């Protein structure tokens, strides 16, 4: 499979001349992308509800409007609001105000890739999904380094969608590093797989390591410093990115290299690939999307986050942070579900009981 990758030379900012751009949502990504576009010479307005984010946009020197007004005024519309509220906002405030020759730019492939939103046929539908948090999008633009993005075109009503897409990528600063072309659904699947397979597996390995050492008699402070708080693993992971997983071995002692390679072989028989394949199939088939789109699972999340604050690791971390004179966080800051929540959750009580028991193992 040949992968299309685009760089600075591929973008032409002239395709953005006389095209007003609206950023819908002035959160971390919204702010960063709005500032980058403005600094690249684009005319940018902000569409947001009346809240602190809208005030922040005004302080940053942007004209601000309601979401509906900004969609009416601009030709290019960046939708930088959370996936879980996108459908409602799109149907009530965006779709009724979409005229001819509009361009919709998504930062996530989720709603288009899984057919949750169906834009009008006369609209260009583009994807620019930075592989970087908002602060990094802005910082790397200012430093001239750029950042990776996944990009796509779902609809090309104008016949100029690719030119507009690459021009926007250049204005945002992502072409300095590289923009990789794939489908909306592929972007969404990659993102969800990282969150549902690699992330939880890594977390489980980390917790098992911590508890093995603590249960063997090593102090909680020493274990957490070794495994998390020193920042050593963060440094190693950065080197994975910069020079590769194998080459970074050269940065460690020969003792470390020998131990890592010879003992690493012992873990090759773990059935991780089977589990990962099951999770991938569930995502690709739309099974996860169908599950998450049910309102009851938004309520389930509230309970799961509450259970998570009661885990053993949370209590250990609180104690260790206190002893090391680090900034403390209230481990019980997640509000307890209300009586009404409990009543509504009665239909998933068995499932929640199982989750609570599972969380106790953490």
Tell me, what's the pLDDT at 269? 83
Longest dimension (CA), the chain: 68
Q: Which among 110, 109, 126, 151 has a CA at the least distance from the CA of 4?
A: 151
Range 139-167 average pLDDT: 98
3-state secondary structure of 17: coil
What is the Cα gyration radius of the chain? 23
Extract the tokens encoding 108: 């996530």
Kindly give, in sequence order, each residue whose CB lies less than 8 Å from that of residue 234, ignoring residues fewer than 6 positions away.
none
User: Is residue 332 very low, low, confident or very high in pLDDT (cuts 50, 70, 90)?
Assistant: low
Which residue in 171, 153, 163, 193 sits closest to 277, CA to CA? 193
Non-local (6+) Cβ contacts of 299 within 8 A are: 341, 344, 345
pLDDT at 361 (0 to 100): 66
pTM: 0.90
Question: Which of left, alpha, beta for 117 (phi over 0: left; psi -120 to 50: alpha)?
Answer: beta
Mean pLDDT confidence for 77-104: 95
Q: What percent of the chain has pLDDT over 70?
A: 98
Burial class (CB in 10 A: 0-12, 13-18, 19+), 162: middle
Is residue 251 scored above 80 in pLDDT?
yes
The average pLDDT across 181-194 equals 98
Rounded distance between C-alpha atoms, residue 273 and residue 124, angstroms: 38
Confidence grade of residue 362 (pLDDT, cut at 50, 70, 90): low
Measured at the alpha carbon of residue 320, what is the angle toward residues 317 and 326, in degrees to the nearest 5?
100
3-state DSSP assignment of residue 310: coil
Could you tell me which of 286, 282, 276, 105 has the C-alpha nearest to residue 185? 286
Q: Is the dihedral of CA 118, 120, 121, 124 positive or negative?
A: negative
Residue 106: what pLDDT? 98
Average pLDDT estimate for 62-87: 96
pLDDT, one tens digit per residue, over 95-115 is: 999 988 999 999 999 999 999
Confidence band, pLDDT 50/70/90 cuts, at residue 6: very high
Band (337; pLDDT cuts 50, 70, 90): confident
Three-class DSSP category at 44 = strand
Domains annotated for the chain, with CATH where assigned, are 5-182 (3.40.50.720)
Of the chain, the percentage scoring pLDDT greater than 90 comes to: 74
Q: Would the pLDDT of 359 be above 80?
A: no
Predicted confidence band at 176 (pLDDT cuts at 50, 70, 90)? very high
Mean pLDDT of the chain: 93
Phi, psi for 154 (deg, rounded to 5): -95, -40
Mean pLDDT of 244-250: 90
- Confidence class of residue 314 from pLDDT cuts 50, 70 and 90? confident
Lowest-confidence region among 68-77, 265-274, 295-304, 333-342: 333-342
């Amino acid at each position: 499979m040949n992968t299309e990758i685009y760089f600075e030379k591929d973008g032409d900012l002239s395709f953005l001349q006389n095209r007003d751009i609206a950023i819908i949502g002035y959160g971390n990504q919204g702010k960063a992308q709005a500032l980058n576009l403005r600094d690249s010479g684009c005319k940018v307005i902000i569409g947001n509800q009346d809240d602190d984010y809208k005030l922040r946009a005004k302080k940053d020197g942007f004209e601000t409007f309601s979401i509906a007004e900004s969609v009416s005024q601009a030709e290019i519309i960046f939708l930088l609001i959370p996936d879980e509220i996108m459908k409602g906002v799109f149907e009530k405030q965006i779709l009724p105000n979409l005229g001819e020759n509009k361009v919709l730019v998504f930062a996530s492939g989720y709603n288009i890739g899984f057919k949750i939103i169906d834009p009008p046929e006369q609209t260009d539908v583009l994807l620019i999904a930075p592989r970087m948090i908002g602060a990094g999008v802005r910082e790397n633009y200012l430093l001239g380094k750029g950042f990776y993005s996944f990009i796509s075109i779902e609809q090309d009503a104008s016949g100029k969608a690719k030119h507009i897409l690459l021009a926007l990528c250049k204005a945002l600063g992502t072409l300095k590093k590289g923009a990789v072309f794939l489908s909306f659904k592929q972007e969404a699947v990659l993102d969800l797989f990282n969150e549902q397979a690699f992330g939880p597996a890594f977390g489980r390995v980390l917790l098992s390591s911590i508890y093995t050492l603590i249960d063997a008699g090593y102090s909680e402070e020493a274990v957490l410093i070794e495994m998390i708080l020193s920042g050593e693993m963060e440094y190693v992971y950065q080197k994975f990115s910069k020079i590769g997983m194998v080459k970074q071995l050269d940065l460690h002692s020969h003792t470390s290299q020998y131990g890592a390679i010879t003992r690493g072989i012992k873990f090759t028989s773990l059935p991780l690939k089977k589990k990962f394949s099951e999770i991938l199939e569930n995502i690709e088939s739309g099974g996860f999307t169908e599950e998450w789109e049910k309102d009851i699972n938004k309520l389930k999340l509230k309970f799961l986050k509450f259970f998570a604050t009661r885990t053993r690791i949370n209590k250990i971390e609180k104690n260790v942070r206190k002893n090391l004179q680090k900034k403390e966080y209230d481990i019980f800051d997640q509000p307890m579900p209300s009586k009404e929540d409990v009543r509504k959750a009665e239909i998933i009580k068995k499932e929640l009981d199982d989750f609570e028991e599972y969380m106790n193992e953490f």
